[in-house]
Amino acid sequence: MTTNNEKGRNSGKSATQKTTKSNHRDMSAAAQCKRVLDYLKADGQTTYSLRAKGISHPAQRVKELIQQGFRIYSHRVTAVDSDGYSHANVARYSLIDRELDLVDMMEAA
């Protein structure tokens, strides 16, 4: 028989631990959005480069960031995938250096 705080279901410990450090194994949408934002702050990224970094659906993550108020510019480029094939019309995303402020939000309304 087990007692509390030893082993078993009632150990009181969470299955996931919250940390302040970025966890690149966390595949939640929120964690992926944070990583996409970090990558975009460093440099523009294509759909393929984000997939290679573990982002499972880059377009959706970018859409979610835009809905949160981040300004992200996208344009079409030719890019090479992980298998070496060239693809035309691949999205390349770039972060515009600031978030929407109150004036921007009022103009959009």
Q: How confident is the model at residue 64 (pLDDT cuts 50, 70, 90)?
A: very high
Look up residue 12 and give its two tokens. 């009181």
**Residue 57 and residue 64: Cα distance in Å, rounded?**
11
Instruction: Give the residue extent of every domain in the chain.
Output: 29-108
Q: Give the three-class secondary structure for 80.
A: strand
Query: CB 105: neighbour CB atoms within 10 A?
Result: 10
Q: How confident is the model at residue 13 (pLDDT cuts 50, 70, 90)?
A: very low
pLDDT attached to residue 18: 45
Q: Taking residues 29-47, what's their average pLDDT? A: 93
Q: Which of 15-19, 63-67, 74-78 has the lowest mean pLDDT?
A: 15-19
Q: How confident is the model at residue 11 (pLDDT cuts 50, 70, 90)?
A: very low
Is residue 10 exposed (0-12), middle (13-18) or buried (19+ Cβ within 10 Å)?
exposed
Look up residue 51 and give its two tokens. 């997939």
The percent of residues above 90 in pLDDT, for the chain, comes to 57
Alpha carbon distance, N-terminus to C-terminus of the chain: 62
Q: Is the pLDDT of residue 53 over 80?
A: yes
